[in-house]
Amino acid sequence: MKTWTFIGKRISEARQALGWSTEELARRFKTSGATMSRWQSGKQRISFDDLEKLAKLLKKPVQFFLPGWYVDPESVPPEIVRLTNRIAEIPDGEMRKRVIEGLTDQVETLLEVIPDWYVDASRISPEIGNLIQRLNEVSASATRSKLIGVLTGQVEVLLESITTMK
């Protein structure tokens, strides 16, 4: 799917979630219905400035409209949210970078053992977002749960050792 088609589809989804027609969204955005229709169909490119304003109006982060940069918070397992929050407690710098690199390496190793693994490169976002997306693509819930359990345990041990070093 082309970027502009993707963005248009997301505009339409966000609009529908609010129960608005295309004409209602155009009126609220102060543009023509024709322009809004072209944006939604991907036939006309929307400027980033307009996309930012539209995102606020539609009550979505701008990343929601950009391919590969949005992870739906509802799809993230609570264990991963907790781990992400714990990692965020580590001050920016070399230690945080090493933790993220270590986790990335461990996840890559674990995912190598899953047969028929496929990752759409256009959907990969940096660092933890990448890990979350890859974990969310594991189809077998038992396998996914095991992966999350192993990662959770390893990260807890790693974070505990970092905490005691302070």
Mean pLDDT of the chain: 77
First to last CA, the chain: 48
Q: What is the pLDDT of residues 10-30, one digit of tens each?
A: 999 999 999 999 999 999 999
| C-alpha distances out from residue 70 to 40, 118, 147, Å | 18, 19, 22
Q: Please answer whether residues 125 and 52 qualify as being in contact, where contact means their C-beta atoms are separated by less than 8 angstroms.
A: no
Instruction: Report the topology of domain 3-65.
Output: 434 Repressor (Amino-terminal Domain) (1.10.260)
| Extents of the domains making up the chain | 3-65, 73-165
pTM for the model stands at 0.48
